[in-house]
Amino acid sequence: MSQDNGNLLDGAWRKHPVFDPTRLNEISGERDDLSANLLKIFLENARTQQEKALAASKQKGLETPTVAFCSALHAIKGSSANLGGERLAKLAAAIEKKVFLLCQESMDLLNKEMETLFAELERELESYNS
């Protein structure tokens, strides 16, 4: 079994069905009118979340866009999974994981560089104290 490193190009999320009505039928009590209404509301909200994620990805800066993007993505993932939208939930999860891994790599690099700079500044401080 290969390790999942958050690679979106591996297409693992595509292996899941687009929609599994089992979960929606459980929620709606197999009532078609309620199922249709739930799906309609889901699609409206998911589109809104997608627009928020897209807008966040175009913002400048770091913290706000990342938090807004991840929040919207997480909402899509959860609501998709809850209603049986398996493929969308898996895609959102893969993107979420990729963003986390990229942020983790950036944080690791930043921490390493900061440690180097702190050490240099401490040596500079010692030169003032001697």
With pLDDT > 70 as the criterion, what percentage of the chain qualifies? 88
Q: Which residue has the tokens 């398996």?
A: 86
> What residue ranges do the domains of the chain occupy?
14-99
The 10 Å CB-count burial string (b at 16+, else e) for 81-107 is: bebbbbbbbbbbbbbbeebeeeeeeee
* Closest listed residue to residue 13, CA positions, set 92, 97, 76: 92
Please check the confidence at residue 5 and state whether its pLDDT lies above 70: no
Per-residue pLDDT, averaged over 102-108, amounts to 81
Is residue 120 helix, strand or coil? helix
- pLDDT tens figures, 42-100: 999 999 999 988 888 787 665 556 788 889 999 999 999 999 999 999 999 998 888 88
